């Protein structure tokens, strides 16, 4: 199991004035028991993007070749540097996963992919790939963009103007894997920490680096809770976090 998280931070009404956070725990489980640790999120420098996975951790092809999903995904990134858009990357990845993973494996195990980054015009996109529809496992991978086409529309984006009609900032969260813990902890822990940050001798995160550390801190708390109190410790350290920005300002308002 995994806790895979993306946050898209929008400030000052402008969708181009944003930061994308990637975070994931590093624990692999087999039959709900510790199996190994691995990296689950990866940068795609040539697209100013990142990608991460949850669910299926390994598969064996029809010719008997065994692949760890982490290694396969890193290799896919390296060999597809000529791809120019997130949409093309998402569709190509979905097609290749659909062809390389045997049908029997796809119908028994769920695999999901988060792909997020910035288009050449500076707008953020979030793509979701999964071999499932609701609770039904599929032979192929569904591929859909879910930020500009959905979440941003709810905030007033009209599909053309990147400036939102109202003056506000917001954080869009996408999470998958064993999301129970994040859903339980996130809101209450933020309230607790905001109480601390209101005190004069506590520093609120103000840079992208600060916020990466804050996200890592919260996910480490979740991992510690699982280690100490959960029968099936399916979320655990190490915690990997990185951010993507359309510029190098490194500031969060």
Domain ranges of the chain: 3-244
Residue 210 in tokens: 């600060």
* pLDDT tens digits for range 163-221: 998 867 889 999 998 888 888 888 899 999 999 999 999 999 999 999 999 999 999 99
Residue 15 in tokens: 């969708």
For residue 140, is pLDDT > 60? yes
* pLDDT tens digits for range 38-57: 999 999 999 999 999 999 99
Residue 140 in tokens: 């192929």
pTM: 0.93
Instruction: State how far Cα 201 lies from the chain centre.
Output: 33
What pLDDT does residue 1 have? 63
Superfamily in which the 3-244 domain is placed by CATH: Aminohydrolase, N-terminal nucleophile (Ntn) domain (3.60.20.10)
Rounded Cα distance between 158 and 123, Å, is 13
What pLDDT does residue 2 have? 83
For residue 249, is pLDDT > 50? no
């Amino acid at each position: 199991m995994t806790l895979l998280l993306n946050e898209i931070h929008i400030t000052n009404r402008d969708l181009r004035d944003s930061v994308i956070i990637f975070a994931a725990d590093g624990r692999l489980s087999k039959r709900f028991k510790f199996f190994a640790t691995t990296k689950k999120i990866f940068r795609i420098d040539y697209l100013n993007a990142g990608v991460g996975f949850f669910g299926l951790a390994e598969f064996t092809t029809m010719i008997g070749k065994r692949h760890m999903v982490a290694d396969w995904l890193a290799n896919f990134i390296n060999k597809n540097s000529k791809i120019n858009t997130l949409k093309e990357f998402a569709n190509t990845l979905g097609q290749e996963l659909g062809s390389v993973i045997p049908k029997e494996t796809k119908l028994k195990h769920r695999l999901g992919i988060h792909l997020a980054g910035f288009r050449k015009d500076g707008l953020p996109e979030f793509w979701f790939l999964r071999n499932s529809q609701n609770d039904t496992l599929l032979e192929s991978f569904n591929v859909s963009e879910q930020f500009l086409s959905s979440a941003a529309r709810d905030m007033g984006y009209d599909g053309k103007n990147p400036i939102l009609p109202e003056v506000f900032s917001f954080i869009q969260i996408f999470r998958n894997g064993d999301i129970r813990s994040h859903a339980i902890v996130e809101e209450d822990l933020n309230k607790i920490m905001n109480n601390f940050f209101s005190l004069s001798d506590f520093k609120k995160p103000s840079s992208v680096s600060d916020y990466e550390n804050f996200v890592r801190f919260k996910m480490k708390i979740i991992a510690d809770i699982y280690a100490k109190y959960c029968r099936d410790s399916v979320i655990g350290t190490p915690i990997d976090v990185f951010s993507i920005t359309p510029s190098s300002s490194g500031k969060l308002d």
